[in-house]
Amino acid sequence: MSGWIAVAGLGPGAQALITPEVSEALAAATDVIGYIPYVARVAQRPGLTLHPSDNRVELDRAAHALTLAAQGARVVIVSSGDPGVFAMASALFEALEAGPPEWRALDLRVFPGITAMLAAAARAGAPLGHDFCAINLSDNLKPWPLIERRLRLAAQADFAMAFYNPRSKSRAEGFARTLDILREECGPDRLILFARAVTTPEEQLAITTLGQATPDMADMRTMVIIGSSQTRLIDRPGRPILYTPRHAA
């Protein structure tokens, strides 16, 4: 088969953070597929067809990409951040596994990108400098009791934690419950970072404590990072530095 698929991460927002590897794939593509706002980040040009779709049709999107590639198209599936972190790489392979055998012969590539988690951490300092975990707070694809169990266990294990999709308009109560759970497990003095729209002109960073954090400090464009018990804040002129030492106490 002459077609191929590249699953590409567009990074957290800034054009400068798209890797050269991803830029080359986009330049060679005949088709770009992805969630509407991510496809909107790709410039239109002659010979390129854009296929934006809703955020709840990941498997349909993946099957569409595989069908096009089997017909000879050069397809880039775009995700924000990294395509392997709560994004389209897994959906592609799920569709591949369930699809016709001939799809498995396609040329498939995954090109990494800079995640919002890493971009937010870098803006603040190094809050993920020791052991950490990432949790998607959306209950669209998994039940809330599972999210709560993972939150409690991660807090009890004293991980720093990065939260994706913390608070949408349709499920605002989930993040309020998250803060309550974290206060129960970690206490009110634990440091927490709210990093909204990092690397874009709308970027906003706020560092506070769990005791002072409120649900309305986050939305779907916000990356939330809570430190471990070892995470520290260095006060300095301008923006303070949030970091977790590499040596555990």
Q: Phi then psi for 71, rounded to 5 degrees?
A: -90, 5
Where are the alpha helices (H) located in the chain, listed in sequence order?
20-28, 36-39, 58-70, 88-98, 116-124, 144-156, 172-186
pLDDT at 140: 80
- Residue the block writes with tokens 């906003």: 204
pLDDT at 55: 77
pLDDT at 109: 96
pLDDT at 54: 85
pLDDT at 107: 95
pLDDT at 1: 57
pLDDT at 249: 63
Give the C-alpha separation, 74 to 49, whole Å: 11
Angle subtended at Cα 120 by Cα 80 and Cα 58, rounded to the nearest 5 degrees: 20
CA–CA distances in Å: residue 148 to residues 139, 144, 145, 154, 175: 10, 6, 5, 10, 11
Domain boundaries, the chain: 4-114, 117-243
pLDDT at 97: 96
pLDDT at 170: 67
pLDDT at 173: 82
pLDDT at 174: 83
Helix 172-186 × helix 144-156 angle, to 10° = 30
Q: Which CATH architecture describes the domain 117-243?
A: 2-Layer Sandwich (3.30)
What is 4-114's CATH superfamily? Tetrapyrrole methylase, N-terminal domain (3.40.1010.10)
pLDDT per residue of the chain (249 residues) written in tens, 0 to 9: 579 999 999 999 999 999 999 999 999 999 999 999 999 999 999 999 999 998 778 899 999 999 999 999 999 999 999 999 999 999 999 999 999 999 999 999 999 999 999 999 999 999 999 999 999 998 887 899 999 999 999 999 999 999 999 887 767 688 999 999 999 999 999 999 999 999 999 999 999 999 999 999 999 899 999 999 999 999 999 889 999 998 866
Residue among 220, 222, 221, 227 at smallest CA distance from 242:
227
Q: Phi then psi for 209, rounded to 5 degrees?
A: -115, 165
CB neighbourhood size of 31 (10 A) = 20
Residue range 44-56, pLDDT digits in tens: 999 999 999 987 7
pLDDT at 167: 82
pLDDT at 248: 66
Sign of CA dihedral 22, 136, 168, 223: negative
